[in-house]
Chain A
Amino acid sequence: MADPILKIRDLSTSFFTEEGKVNAVDSVTFDVEDGEIFGIVGESGSGKSVTALSVIDLIDSPGRVTGGEVWYRNADLAEEFRGSRPEAVDGDFVDVRRLPKGVRRSLRGPSFSMIFQDAMSSFNPSITVGEQIAEAVEVQRRARANPRRTRSRTQGYGLGSAILDTFLPNRDYVSNESMDRAVELLDQVGIPDPEDRAEEYPHQFSGGMLQRAMIAQALAGEPDILVADEPTTALDVTIQAQILNLLRDLQEQEGMSILMITHNLGVIARMCDRVGVMYAGEIVERGPLGDIFENPVHPYTQGLLGSVPDIDDPSDRLEPITGNVPSLLESEMPDACYFADRCPKAMTDCMTRIPEYDLDGRHSVRCVLAEREYDEADALEQEVMADD
């Protein structure tokens, strides 16, 4: 079996809002293995996007990653920091969260990269697509030329450079080689006439083409791990299938790993090797695709699978069980299984925080049913909530 490239341990992220603390990601643990596609699935608002952003260290205020580790396998980094930061090193792994800020930043691109749901808003509307991709290439080109500077606070690109680039017409951040490479990348993701398209602005692209361009941009740094947050949700079905195929092909060609985030079980079934099911900021069940699909233990997973949406069905809204994802406000979270108020099998045992049970070393679940049978005598009185 392949080694993990990424081990997430007890990762927690909260937003400190006016209403209070929102625990959007709560002690999430999972591994992403070398060359695999790991899927995270769950309803909207369950914390998938926040998980993705936490992994690649892009949580903005008022949010903050409050705890946990992100172990990333990189022998060079491990060697480099073994002496200076022993707590951040474990074998070939480094805990990204404990690395200096500049180093963490320099990992975005060559180690981690991300694609988003809405390609149109993920490109700067006033810069050509080609130039934006070339920027991503250029950062890596400069990083190879001068690794030290790249780890400084400004990454070797300070205010002075920004001002000069703006006002001197012969200066530009992006070099010609990078532009050429951007065209190659566009070609690689299957965009016809890449030379011409590179000169166009985002609004001149169709949704599917722009999604391909965004993938090209994410590939520019040759990342080890690509985080894909709902990469096909905004597209219509035929295009969805093309994009998924493209991702699959690229993953095989480049040998990278993908963290695939979606609310669509059809996408999971088609793409992923292993999967984690997310609910209310927690991963409630995780394991190999086959185990989860054929032998789900958590009632939430069972509910999801009861209503697997067809990838060809455009109305793939996932509403498996009555009720809503709770607000995730810390002050309103019960001292019980978060799913209890919607769970058809809730019992008195469920009225405490549930640990993660390991079933067979590969499949784990956060539910008392992992240890005992459902017993009607213990069932909780369920008030069926009629609110919508």
Chain B
Amino acid sequence: MSLSRFLVKRSLQGLFVIWGVITVVFGLRFISPGDPANVLLPPDVDPEVRAEVIAELGLNEPLYVQYWDFISGIPLGDLGFSLVTRTPVAARVLAKLPATLELAIAATIVAIVIAIPLGVISATRRHQPADYGATVFSLVGISTPNFWLGVMLIIVLAVQFDLFPTSQRPIGVDGIVLLFVSGSLGEAVDGLTTWLWHITLPAITLGTYFTALITRLTRSGMLDQLGQTYVRASRAKGLPETLVRYKHALRNTLIPVITVIGLQLGTLIGGAVITEAVFAWPGLGTLIINSINARDWPVLQGSLIVVAVGFVLVNILVDALYAYVNPQVAYD
């Protein structure tokens, strides 16, 4: 199968999953004990007013109409209205998205930049102190709940040593870009420093699990590759060890590592939700938690859809990347 046909097939599958996701999210409302009108109205409200509100929300329509209203708006970016603020959900989700993306990307970069060299060092210095250190680190790293790690970082680095702020995001990348474009270079640089200063602890908090996981994968993958005959053959033909390790063994190690990173992006988003809660980071996670506490179901549903659809799309991208870097893949 060719790459393009593979991508078409994979996209159709993705579309199906997205449909499923939307349907599941739609169904979420029905497992809730109370009905949405209660969120808006005091319990002792006049039944007529109550009926009016229910009609306004469309809750007295037949189920299939409600379903159609729900699903048909989504391709156009209509995720409904917040019960609490009466503003469009899509706008609120969109406003929170950059903060979460920044955090997730920063954590991924931290993870990759640390983990891959660490895994390689660990594999090439097997049974030496560096290897034991990396092994212990990755074991503890995948076993540590990141919210606790965040609290520990705050207690030690923010409270005791006052090196970092405990929370918040006074400026985002979008703000920095804006400053930069508007020509205030000095302020943009200041903004960037502030941003880095504020994102460091959240990024470490969110990134540690992935650093540990990727270290582990890289180490075992490298050990596996370095034991392959082609590595021996590369040495036999006189290639420099650097070339053998990095052009040959490491690249083949990274091919499966990429897939696992893709699969783990869901965990990354989940981790972001809770990291945001620890650091009062105003992203999607905070939005989700607030919407649950306020019983603002449309906001919760909209956020879930955005997260899940994003995850599906990223996975398709990862598969395409995998197919591209690995000529052997059978695309099935």
Contacts and interface: CB of A to CB of B under 8 A. Distances in A.
Interface in B87-126: 126
Contacts of A112: 236
A163 B120 CA distance: 14
Interface in B238-282: 238-243, 245-248, 251-252, 255
Contacts of B328: 125-126, 201, 203
Contacts of B126: 61
A221 B252 contact: no
Contact of B232 (A116, A154, A158): A116
B236 A56 contact: yes
Given A126-B328, A166-B247, A201-B328, A58 B235 contact: yes
A216 B227 CA distance: 23
B237 interface: yes
A108 interface: yes
Q: Of residues B227, B243, B328, which shows the largest number of chain A Cβ atoms within 10 Å of its Cβ?
A: B243
B247 A165 contact: yes
B234 interface: yes
Interface in A159-190: 159, 161-163, 165-166, 173
Contacts of A124: 230, 234, 248, 252
Nearest to B252: A126
Contacts of A139: 237-240
B147 to A, nearest CB: 35
B13 interface: no
Given A61-B126, A124-B248, A154-B242, A218 B229 contact: no
A135 B236 CA distance: 12
A217 interface: yes
A218 B230 contact: no
Contacts of B230: 121-125
Contact of A217 (B237, B242, B245, B252): B237
A159 B246 contact: yes
Contact of A116 (B227, B229, B242, B255): B229
A165 B242 CA distance: 12
Contact of B238 (A61, A105, A125, A214): A105
Interface in B290-332: 325-328
Contact of B239 (A61, A136, A166): A136
Interface string A112-124: 1110101001111
A121 B229 contact: yes
Contacts of A110: 238
Contact of B228 (A121, A156, A157, A201): A121
Contact of B242 (A135, A159, A201, A214): A159
Nearest to A227: B236
B233 interface: yes
B242 A157 contact: yes
Contacts of B325: 126
A159 B230 CA distance: 20
Nearest to B232: A58
A173 B247 contact: yes
Contacts of B246: 159, 162-163, 166
- The bracket for how many chain A residues form the interface is 35 or more
A39 to B, nearest CB: 19
Nearest to A131: B247
Chain B interface, >50% SS class: helix
A113 B233 CA distance: 9
Contact of A158 (B238, B242, B326): B242
B28 to A, nearest CB: 43
Contacts of B234: 124, 132, 135
Contacts of A61: 126
Contact of B237 (A161, A173, A218): A218
Q: Of residues A109, A135, A161, A165, which shows the largest number of chain B Cβ atoms within 10 Å of its Cβ?
A: A135
Contacts of A217: 233, 237
A114 B236 contact: yes
B321 to A, nearest CB: 13
A173 B246 CA distance: 12
Contacts of A123: 230, 233
Nearest to A139: B238
A162 B229 contact: no
Q: Of residues B232, B233, B247, which shows the largest number of chain A Cβ atoms within 10 Å of its Cβ?
A: B233
Nearest to B243: A157
A53 B231 CA distance: 13
B285 to A, nearest CB: 33
Interface in B59-93: none
Contact of B236 (A113, A118, A163, A165): A113
Interface string B12-46: 00000000000000000000000000000000000
A154 B236 contact: no
Given A124-B252, A126-B251, A126-B328, A58 B236 contact: yes
Nearest to A217: B237
Nearest to A218: B237
Nearest to A106: B238
B327 A116 contact: no
A108 B233 contact: no
A108 B238 contact: yes
A161 B252 CA distance: 18
A118 B242 contact: no
Interface in A212-250: 214, 217-218, 220-221
Contacts of B232: 53, 58, 60, 116, 122
A262 interface: no
Q: Of residues B126, B227, B247, which shows the largest number of chain A Cβ atoms within 10 Å of its Cβ?
A: B247
Contacts of B255: 126
A60 B229 CA distance: 12
B235 to A, nearest CB: 6
A140 interface: yes
B243 A140 contact: no
A218 to B, nearest CB: 7
23 contacts: A56-B236, A58-B232, A58-B235, A112-B236, A116-B229, A122-B229, A124-B230, A126-B251, A126-B252, A126-B255, A126-B327, A127-B247, A135-B234, A135-B237, A139-B237, A140-B238, A154-B240, A156-B240, A157-B243, A162-B245, A173-B247, A218-B237, A221-B237
Given A108-B238, A116-B232, 5 more contacts: A58-B236, A118-B229, A126-B325, A157-B242, A201-B327
